[in-house]
Structure 1
């Protein structure tokens, strides 16, 4: 089966999965042989293609033995995009252009997802440290606070609708810079959540998956990105946006949740660095 957006049917004569997989372009990411992401242009428009060529039985069994749900191809990602688009969810992400899959064998299934290119965007892991150097303190703080609140809101929408990302890091959020003059408008932010191929959907999200997502986001802000300064007030804004509660109420009513988040951050740091994490002042009120 294949899907092609109506406004692109004149531009793309391709109709089968193999037709689309025959499209080539500039590789932007290929961490494993079974999956490749590349950029190409057609008719003056830019697109990204993520092609899946079958994960193999070894990868499937490895995931099952680790009690993980194996991701077989592109279908998981296009279903996540469709879910994000629903009015009750409203999370900004890539715009779906085309998708498809073929093959009954889960280990050899071939599939693809094509999206409109999100040009004039930057990932937050690399851009937020640049914002810290902005000379106008008032503008810098206003924009930084708006971004923090938006990230908390995205997490709330994601988890509140039974979904988890599994790679919920700053590098997977892209900020729209197309109208930046010279900074984005804090009152009209567009932040896109990317890399959705591991998103899981349920009727209700188990707490451990929400803990993993939030701990991953905070860890990436504190230790992966160089130059981001988080203060206690920043954490308060994030907690209030994520929970929809006053931060004091949120820390009391969900005390166990935030302690698990902090414990996972500390555990990840020890695993990555081989030593105990220095507890940042912005997290001390969560203990």
Structure 2
């Protein structure tokens, strides 16, 4: 467990782990076994993810699907450390802790600093179809995202939720004409010794799917492919065909009645 002294002083408890797991704040996501909240300690804003155990059923389901189970906060802790090494900006790690040896009931938390005034690329691009952005800004954003994705994947890192909503811009810098992109929500990240063509394809397909309704042109997509593929041997014609097929399937699934009803139900729980 790593909890700075200034955080421990705000908790006012001898059992630091229990105090961290019982913190409350503004809920951003509350799903089975995991809660994400924004809260204030002292005069600073933070985000905390509390993991309450995934259960044996989830572990077995993942293993039968040949997937590595995500047991708790350590996945995100390691992801932040790795992104720092490869110089991709993300949420600063403040504290984390794990309790228990049983993988099904293990509890954990991760506390990160609030990035402040940021805007996701999803929100920034909402109006692009009707109100196109300055061409220079769009080109720079496409190049920056492609470069970030290439660096991520060439380092053996795969996000596995690589959508526009998880790429955020510093609003103050953007207002000055500067671009700084943060990659957030790292709880499903996988880190491999070598680049994975299959996982990288899935990441790029997710990114492509999430950009389909923002008014990008064929030239915009070609520009992304050019900068992503530089000195990257995974980017074969077969790779890009698989990206296209998977992205179209994701788009169809997202716009299905079943999926939209599920999204609406999740939003109602947070209201």
Do they fold alike, i.e. is TM over 0.5? Answer: yes
* Residues in 2 aligned to 1:120 and 1:52: alpha-carbon distance in whole angstroms: 26
* Residues in 1 aligned to 2:251 and 2:173: alpha-carbon distance in whole angstroms: 37
Distance 1:268 1:22, change over 3 A: closer
2:266 alignment partner in structure 1: none
Match of 2:208 among 218, 226, 239: 218
1:243 alignment partner in structure 2: 229
The answer as to 2:104 corresponding to 1:104 is no
1:196 alignment partner in structure 2: 186
The answer as to 2:196 corresponding to 1:206 is yes
2:163 alignment partner in structure 1: 169
| Structure 1 residue 52, shift from structure 2 partner | 0.3
* Residues in 1 aligned to 2:5 and 2:139: alpha-carbon distance in whole angstroms: 39
Contact between 1:132 and 1:140, CA under 8 Å: does it hold in 2?
no
Figure out how many residues of one structure are paired with residues of the other and give that number.
Answer: 255
Contact between 1:162 and 1:204, CA under 8 Å: does it hold in 2?
yes
| Structure 1 residue 254, shift from structure 2 partner | 1.7
1:277 alignment partner in structure 2: none
TM-score (structure 1 length as normaliser): 0.81
2:250 alignment partner in structure 1: 268
The answer as to 2:80 corresponding to 1:94 is no
- Cα displacement string for residues 210-269 of structure 1 (whole angstroms, at most 9, x for unaligned residues): 1100011001100xxx4x111122112211221226xxx989x72121112112223334
* Residues in 2 aligned to 1:150 and 1:37: alpha-carbon distance in whole angstroms: 28
Any gaps of 5 or more consecutive residues in structure 2? 257-271
Contact between 1:164 and 1:210, CA under 8 Å: does it hold in 2?
yes
SS in 2 for 1:171: helix
Please give the residue correspondences for 1:60-209 in structure 2 after superposition, counting only pairs within 5 Å.
Answer: 60-86=59-85, 89-130=86-127, 140-181=134-175, 185=177, 188-209=178-199
Contact between 2:173 and 2:180, CA under 8 Å: does it hold in 1?
no
| Structure 1 residue 27, shift from structure 2 partner | 1.0
Contact between 1:239 and 1:250, CA under 8 Å: does it hold in 2?
no
Any gaps of 5 or more consecutive residues in structure 1? 275-287
2:24 alignment partner in structure 1: 24
| Structure 1 residue 173, shift from structure 2 partner | 1.1
The answer as to 2:46 corresponding to 1:47 is yes
* Residues in 1 aligned to 2:255 and 2:41: alpha-carbon distance in whole angstroms: 45
SS in 2 for 1:73: coil
SS in 2 for 1:257: helix
* Residues in 1 aligned to 2:5 and 2:101: alpha-carbon distance in whole angstroms: 27
* Residues in 2 aligned to 1:140 and 1:11: alpha-carbon distance in whole angstroms: 46
SS in 2 for 1:60: helix
- Cα displacement string for residues 14-63 of structure 1 (whole angstroms, at most 9, x for unaligned residues): 66321211222111111x23100111112211001100000111111111
| Structure 1 residue 120, shift from structure 2 partner | 0.7
* Residues in 2 aligned to 1:91 and 1:5: alpha-carbon distance in whole angstroms: 24
